[in-house]
Structure 1
């Protein structure tokens, strides 16, 4: 792991932040030790995993930690997994054969820990809901689903270059195995952690490219995968679900096939969308959907509550949902007035797997499908009220390079002066888009980020097509964000968040369909329509819907209402500013434009606020929050 660059972010504890440590709940996580000699620590509140030596779960319900075997042949599955106990026992044959990918093919979202002789495999999921990290010590290796916990072993600081990459690119795998903390390694998307007496390393288990399946042929597989993904979570707990867009409505209807569902629609009148109209009609049509409306208020806007960070749970990386926490809590409050705890379904990631951005046009040009590229460009142009030539020009540059070449070009851009802000939709298509936050960083940080990109380009591993790379990165980003939302739901309301579109088998089924079929203009989410039309699960009027709600009105209202809080958060005392990751001048410009109702870099501000909150939360978290001295060491 690189050790050069800006000084690490060393954070000091403050009284306000200490309240988070005292009142907040650390997240669910798992960890373990592999070494020739014993360990001197164990996770605080950890429960040993049966059959595996020196491995624990923290805050996971007993029923969602299942094991088979012991000693040199052992398997543990942690999370929502559709395999029954017999199947998990039979899977020991796959463990013995070291057929690791076979252990990731069950419905649901879960972590796998498998031991075959001297080899230990720790396998996360394809969307980062169960991330895996490791750090080597002289006597062995610690692994964990929490990078923060591993950093807390010896107070390893935040890596400012890695945090800069998080802010500038929004693609988790750009810096590969480099985590947000120094000395802590991350397992990239589609890889597993393999530990042997010789080494600990990340190895591929998911192919970079998949065999394409035409949309019509894939539809039954997608329907089966989604049906199983929902069924896995229906284990007798109370069930609730968002009932808003096409994706969440699909999940609510699938759950309602098996029992009552408290369906909730956030219906702030400032949104001016038709989510509520469709929700009311759906609930009147589909049995078992008990509909509840969540009205908006002065506080259900973006950035509300950031003047009191003690109300936000600790997360392992910057949590995008701190910006919209008040909206999520309003929904959760409504749920908990109807039932206690339970599981709540959200359509998060439906956009990522059921459709595709127009960036796939670059792939059509790359593969010389010029006639199809022109046809699609003309259709996209009509939707955007522009010309087909403009659409194709945006796509051309990315069609003429690969990922490594794109990163070298991006490094060159970072070494030059910051750009004037242009909306992302007007910029050329890119393998890795450079976000506006990159232009808020100091020249030194930009230079270090460019150096890191150059180094990453030498070992870049990417699918052949840009759309496949972008799909994987979008899912990894959305998965990490969903973990933040999950902590808000669990910490404050005792509700488990379920995001089935992020399950391995749902991802595989959907992304096997080429992007130009999933994202073809003229039909909204055709894969979902093909999968569920005439099945009796989802009403036809839902499947024929072409509208989608948006939160822009609440974003601008929050920017205007809470501008002083944001200016203070990212002002003179900002941790990001101290590290050269944010310059106050462009931030002030964003707030001024937003207050005037002008278009602005909302996404960049969103990222910066989440990162600033996260850095301040870390100040309150020390090793005692995560670890305690093991009985062996005490003796």
Structure 2
């Protein structure tokens, strides 16, 4: 067997050089070429004759494990190539076939398209493929994502004709076919206490991998919440951690106090940044990279540059992103129980949830029963609502639903409603029946991973390389093997964390509250109101006839006065989308460090 190769950032093209001219499609038939954007990722390859395997990213496999995995490549057992600790891409060849795979959470994205000559091209950058094929931005899809979320179209990128490989799937290429293969490989279901040990081991290993991978200190977010605090406590057992916290006059004092207490308990270096008016959201400073897709973090550039400055240049930066998804579950578990035939259990939980939120259980129970009718029905029903009108914003609080039309739906023009309805009908045609809690946990996971992926250029410009141990494949698998209604509790918060890591301090795992940045967002809207008005009024979504500028502007102005907190998340999404459309991603390089045609 060939020796394992390892290279740094500037030599990643040599690591995957074996893929050039040797993959499927390089003979007669459609070409199957791709581009891997590795950045600062570590890349390793092994080979045995025609069997070849590359892992690019943070992969915990030892050299011997990579060599043994060539047997899985030979047999086409693709999911086995995704079960090491860490976050990484996989590229594997056997005669006549290639697999290109990211991760379950979609932090490591993979995209593909057909050229004018019917060649299949893949890349880890959708914009790069769009620039090669001349594809433009799909404005109706961006409008649909703003109104309904991106979870209904996991196979689409923001560019016309550029397809996305959903998290948990791999792109399988042969000379005459392209298909997606399922690599989720979630273990058989187990109860909370049976699965807690496996989760604890997986998360410990995910954190330890980052601490082992290099020399020098590692940075870490420390907001004071359970997720980032746990990551800091585990990392501090492995090496030097430099933790940073953001605080301003609008920040929860309880969060700041908890962050300081965690840092003191762990004995780590800790800095709290004092933000102010200049750090409020929605400044959209000139010169900040736009990235391949709209990203929510584009609104927080001032805040991020303020609190992350002390850890710029460190080899990695730990975050708590994904903790909410894997440690807990939403109220989607209620209709899921109804779908599973456990109506009594569902009713008890709905009543308990209603009491906790000081609301009437009757209407909530009716919503739960209606939601149990299924996903395709909900998509088609919502499309009909948009087509026939009138459209009203759904209440902010209530039971979970497959698709809840919020305030953003009232900003659409008639053409915009028709365009979004058409996208929903296409989604309904391709949708199968699925349990509510299963749909929701995977949708939330992929949305969280996509947010982490799309914000990478912003953090790179600040000299920060975030890593997200909660989103690692094995951590996700260990969590999702525990049914959502076992991870969700109406009487305790994130019970999996305390069960999986019993040595965490009780004062941390017993915490029930966590501050939000709603006040900062409202203040940022007010501070930057004039510019944000122009951003919406001049948006391509408006000029294309999809968005009613007057309706959106009325909401913006009311939100800036603090009168419309219920629709802030949708307004946030609209503003970053409008900003991205007028800024646009940087031109894609033909070749650069960390870029390689395959």
For the criterion TM > 0.5, the same-fold answer is yes
CA distance in 2, matches of 1:506, 1:59: 23
TM-align CA RMSD: 2.5
CA deviations over 1:425-454 (Å, ceiling 9, x no partner):
24x532233343233222223223322322
CA deviations over 1:165-193 (Å, ceiling 9, x no partner):
32222233x23533221221221232211
The 5 Å alignment of 1:9-408 reads 35-36=25-26, 57-58=36-37, 60-61=39-40, 64-69=42-47, 72-137=50-115, 138=117, 140-172=119-151, 174-206=152-184, 211-234=188-211, 235=213, 236-243=215-222, 244-287=224-267, 289-304=268-283, 306=284, 308-310=285-287, 312-336=288-312, 340-399=313-372, 401-408=373-380
Secondary structure in 2 matching 1:263: strand
CA distance in 2, matches of 1:588, 1:187: 35
2:590 equivalent in structure 1: 627
- Native 8 Å contact 2:168 2:183 kept in 1: yes
User: Which residue of 425, 444, 468 maps to 1:454?
Assistant: 425
Secondary structure in 2 matching 1:627: coil
C-alpha deviation, 1:76, in angstroms: 0.8
2:506 equivalent in structure 1: 540
- Native 8 Å contact 1:577 1:583 kept in 2: yes
CA distance in 1, matches of 2:37, 2:342: 51
Q: Which segments of 5 or more consecutive residues in structure 1 lack a partner in the other structure?
A: 1-27, 42-52, 630-635
CA distance in 2, matches of 1:241, 1:370: 43
- Native 8 Å contact 1:105 1:505 kept in 2: yes
Q: Which segments of 5 or more consecutive residues in structure 2 lack a partner in the other structure?
A: 1-11, 593-598
2:542 equivalent in structure 1: 577
CA distance in 2, matches of 1:452, 1:558: 32
**Aligned length in residues:** 569
- Native 8 Å contact 1:152 1:626 kept in 2: no
Matched, 1:415 2:415: no
Distance 1:180 1:35, change over 3 A: same
- Native 8 Å contact 1:125 1:131 kept in 2: yes
C-alpha deviation, 1:72, in angstroms: 2.7
- Native 8 Å contact 1:356 1:519 kept in 2: yes
CA distance in 1, matches of 2:541, 2:296: 16
User: Which residue of 433, 437, 455 maps to 1:485?
Assistant: 455
Distance 1:300 1:252, change over 3 A: same
CA distance in 1, matches of 2:455, 2:154: 25
CA distance in 2, matches of 1:444, 1:210: 45
CA distance in 2, matches of 1:58, 1:76: 14
1:615 equivalent in structure 2: 581
User: Which residue of 556, 570, 576 maps to 1:604?
Assistant: 570
Distance 1:466 1:273, change over 3 A: farther
CA deviations over 1:275-316 (Å, ceiling 9, x no partner):
1211222222223x1121111211222212x2x332x22322
CA distance in 1, matches of 2:147, 2:490: 29
C-alpha deviation, 1:574, in angstroms: 1.3
- Native 8 Å contact 1:332 1:489 kept in 2: no
CA distance in 1, matches of 2:154, 2:210: 32
- Native 8 Å contact 2:24 2:97 kept in 1: no
- Native 8 Å contact 1:134 1:150 kept in 2: yes
- Native 8 Å contact 2:105 2:167 kept in 1: yes
Secondary structure in 1 matching 2:277: coil
User: Which residue of 479, 483, 486 maps to 1:514?
Assistant: 483
Secondary structure in 1 matching 2:107: coil
Distance 1:423 1:554, change over 3 A: farther
C-alpha deviation, 1:261, in angstroms: 0.8
User: Which residue of 427, 436, 441 maps to 1:471?
Assistant: 441
TM-score by length of 1: 0.85
C-alpha deviation, 1:237, in angstroms: 4.1
CA distance in 1, matches of 2:105, 2:374: 23
Matched, 1:592 2:557: yes
